[in-house]
Each structure stands twice: as C-alpha cells, then as structure tokens.
Amino acid sequence: MDNADLISNLEYIRLDMCSEWETLPSFGQLPHLKSLYLWNMPKAKRLDYKFHGNDKVSVFPSLEVLSMKGLQVLEDWFDGAGAGAGAAAYDCFFPCLTELFLDNCPNLQELPYLPPKLKNMHIERVGWKAPLNCKQGSNNCCGISKSIPLECLEVLSCSNITYLLQADARLEALRKLRIGGCPNLISLGGLLQVESGIEKSLRELTFRGLESLQFLLPSMERLASLKILRVGRVPQLQQLLHIPASLEEIHLEDLESLQCLPTSLSAISSLKELRLDSIPLLKSLPDLPSSLCSLSLGSLDNLQCLPSSLSAISSLVLLDLDSIPLLKSLPDLPSSLKSLCLHDLDNLHCLPSSLSAISSLKKLDLNRIPLLESLPELTPSLNSLSLCRLDNLQCLPSSLLAISSLNRLEVNSIPLLKSLPELPPALNSLSLCRLNNLVCLPSSLSAISSLKRLNLDSIPLLKSLPHLPSSLKSIIVENCHPELKRYKKVSGSDWHEIAHLPNVRLYCF
C-alpha cells in the first residue's frame, strides 16, 4: 500500500484490527479516494503525508468520509506536525470532506481546521484541547472563509476541552448540536456572539454531562428555528430565563441547582412534549401551554402541586408522574388523555373523580401509591390496567366487568385485596401476583373465551380454580398454596384438558 500508483483508483478503504501498523500509508495522495475507515489500530501514531511533487497540493483531494476509531496512540495528523503547522505548510486539508468521525483517540491533542465542505462531525473520547476553528489554509485552495456548511456537530466524552469554538467561528447551517460528557467545558465560544445565521438554522440542541457549565447559550431566545431542547446533568445551571418560542420538545433532567422554570413557558404555543426529571429544588410549575400532548414529571422532590390549568389542555394525551413524594392531590384531568401512569406517589390520597369521564383513556398504570384506599369508577375505554403495590386498596371497582375493551389486567402486591369483581369478557392476559389475602377467583373466568395468558404468583390462600377457558395458551402457577398444586395434579378435568391443548405451556412451581 505504500506504492500509491498501484492503488490510485481506490475509492473506498477500510482497515480494521491492523494491530501492528505504526505509520499509516500515504493515502493522502490517492486522487479518487472518497471513503476511509481506520479502526482499532492500537499502534498507529500518525497519518503519512507523502505527496506527489505538485506545485499545489491537497491532502486527500477527493475524500468525503473519514472515520477513525480506536487509534489510542494517535498523536498527530501528519508526521508530527500539529494542525496549525500542517495548515501553514499545505494548501488544504480535506477539501471535499463532508463527514468526519473521531472516536476513542485519547492522545490526539489537536484537530485540523474544519474542512470547507464539512456537514457532519462526530467527536467522542478524543484528547483535543483547543477550540474548533473554521479558518482554512493560507491561500486560494480552500479560501479563508470562517463559515462552513456544518449541519450536525456532536462532541461526547472529551474531558480536556474547555471552549467549544473560536469566538469568530461561523456555523451558518448548523441544525443539530449535541455536547455531552465534557466536564471541563465552561463556554461554547462565539456560537451566538456574532450574527452567524445559526439563529435561523439550529433545530436540535442537547447538553448533557457538563459539570463546569453555568450558562447555556447567550440570547437563546434568538434561536427562532429551535424545535428540541435537551439539558441534563448540568449541576451548576441555576436559571433557564429565556427559551425560544419555537420549541416543540423540552427535556430537562438531573439539574440539581435549577429552582424554577421560565413563566414564558405558557406562551410557547408550539410545545408538544415536556419532560422534567430529577430537579430536586423545583417547587412549582408555571402554567403550561395549551398545545401540550405529553407531560412526564419524575423525581421532583419538592414539587407540591400541579397547575390547575392542566384540565384545560385539550391536546394532552399522555401524563406520567413518577416519584413526586410531596404531591397530595391531582387537579381535574383533561378529557383527551389516552395514557395515565402514576408511580411512587407517597402522599397521594385519592384520584380525581374526573377520571371516570375520560372516554379516550386506553392505559392506566398505578404503582406504589401507599395511601390510596379506593378507585373511582373506571372508564369503559380502557385497554390496559395495571395496579401494583397499593398497600391500602381493599377492593376493585365493580365497573371492571363493563370495560368491554380491556384486554390486559395486572394486579400485583395489594395485600388487603380479598376478592376480585367479575372480569370483562375481552381479557387476553391476566396476571395476579403477591395477593396475600385473595382466597378465590371470580367464576366469570371460565367465560372469557379470549384469554391466552394466565399468571398466578404468590397467592398463598388460593386453594382452587374455577373452570378455565380452552383459549389459554400459557399458564404459570408459582409460590401458591399446596392444595392448588394437588388440584392441578389429581382433580382432572380443567388442568388435564388445558395441558393437552395445542401450543399451550403449563408451568407449576
């Protein structure tokens, strides 16, 4: 491969697990090479830049995709010359490069000037320190423009970087910016300090694992095209004052210093999804926009109530509340809900009566709500019902039978439950687990001709079963009363008939 004349027509090269190579061949002079993948070469220290003796030389003149991964000892790009020295010595690095991927090159201290046609750049686990610079070479081969058509920039797990961009960098076409796992990053450089055009282009912005960052982008409200904002594990972030009115999704998580959300949140008429997780100092929420479709709140240790305006959000279809220990009650819920999940709500005493009137509700999950003593009547539109770890619930509503669309029912860890109401006829899956006081199953079980799966686990007082429907394909009985096991072995008809049906699986432990 050192003889470039013999491989001059190659357009694609991939080297993987070439563990003994220290200096890579002179691929830079191949005139037609478009894609180069250099992976898992633990001894490769640098690229080789031997070129033909042309007056004007371009490094990798046709290369469009460069991917380097697992080059742990790579120190320099070209024969010991740093990026700055290389740029001064040669007219242009990668004049046609559109995609650059660098992963697990911890000793690579410098990156080249961003190529003039670069659109997609992914940097992960690289030891670079200096801010990215858009300045190109020294003469007319690539020009001196500080603006490139970069559309996607991802910087992950780069612990040495402190500044992202040079102050005069221009990324006028940037659509997606993702930065994560850079604990020493303190500034994004000049991303919005000049009229760069990013205000009209940026659509997706993700910051995660930036322990030293105290502020997000300056003048963020100017990002008129931003649709998705994700911020997580930025422990020094105390305020989120201004957010763009164009947002459609906001995800905020692991923000231990954030105390409040901007009141302007209610005016974002395009917002469809809001997710807040692990924000311990957040005590209240502003009014929410009427456009919201999905609301997920989790691990909010000091949140005491939800805004009363929640009931007026006629577009809300998903509501998920998880680990909000101070929440004692819920406001009326919007009639548009399709999925309601309530988990780990230590102080919630009851559910709103409006739950019965939500005719669009398909899924209801209630998990670990220890003070909940009763349920309202359930809407007949339900497809899935899961009731788990409800320590004070004594019975299920009789309206369960009338839910003709219910095909999945799970009842788990409800110690005071002694009996079940009659079951709906459309059940496909029934799971009953850890019911210490349940003594019998409803006789209607035999009439459920759609039942395919039956799971009985840790029901110590259950000694017998009603007739079972022939539609069953899977039966699991585990940790139940010895009488129930003997019933299975000797009583004959039901278990014997079920065990011999085609495709049925019968387990008894």
In this prediction, residue 509 carries a pLDDT of 53
In this prediction, residue 231 carries a pLDDT of 95
Contact between 49 and 79 (Cβ < 8 Å): yes
In 3D space, the residue among 269, 308, 274, 305 whose CA is nearest the CA of residue 290 turns out to be 269
Whole-structure pTM value: 0.86
The kind and range of the H/E element at 494 are helix 493-499
Count Cβ atoms below 10 Å from residue 242 Cβ, excluding itself: 16
Amino acid identity at 413: S
The kind and range of the H/E element at 275 are strand 273-277
Contact between 377 and 359 (Cβ < 8 Å): no
Q: Would you give the end-to-end CA distance of the chain in angstroms?
A: 64
Facing residues of 35 across strands?
12, 65
Report the b/e string of 38-77 with b at 16+ CB within 10 A: bbebeebbbbebeeeeeeebbbbbbbbbbbbbbbeebbbb
258, exposed or middle or buried, with CB in 10 Å at 0-12, 13-18, 19+?
buried
User: What's phi and psi for 461, nearest 5 deg?
Assistant: -95, -5
In this prediction, residue 144 carries a pLDDT of 46
* Cα(487)–Cα(498) distance, integer angstroms: 13
In this prediction, residue 192 carries a pLDDT of 55
Amino acid identity at 446: S
* Cα(442)–Cα(456) distance, integer angstroms: 14
In this prediction, residue 51 carries a pLDDT of 42
* Cα(105)–Cα(69) distance, integer angstroms: 7
Contact between 462 and 481 (Cβ < 8 Å): yes
In this prediction, residue 88 carries a pLDDT of 40
* Cα(509)–Cα(505) distance, integer angstroms: 13
Mean pLDDT of successive 10-residue stretches along the chain, which has 509 residues: 84 94 82 95 76 55 95 76 42 82 92 85 92 58 62 94 77 90 82 62 93 81 91 91 91 95 91 97 94 97 93 95 96 95 96 91 97 93 96 92 94 95 93 94 89 92 85 84 57 48 55
SS3 category, 482: helix
CA 185 to chain centre: 23
In this prediction, residue 313 carries a pLDDT of 94
* Cα(462)–Cα(319) distance, integer angstroms: 36
In this prediction, residue 131 carries a pLDDT of 81
In this prediction, residue 92 carries a pLDDT of 64
Q: Which long-range contacts (CB under 8 A, 24 or more apart) does 315-319 make?
A: 315/272, 315/290, 315/291, 316/292, 317/293, 317/360, 318/293, 318/294, 319/295
User: What's phi and psi for 220, nearest 5 deg?
Assistant: -60, -25
Contact between 414 and 387 (Cβ < 8 Å): yes
In this prediction, residue 139 carries a pLDDT of 41
In this prediction, residue 83 carries a pLDDT of 42
In 3D space, the residue among 339, 282, 347, 287 whose CA is nearest the CA of residue 311 turns out to be 287
In 3D space, the residue among 382, 447, 443, 373 whose CA is nearest the CA of residue 410 turns out to be 382
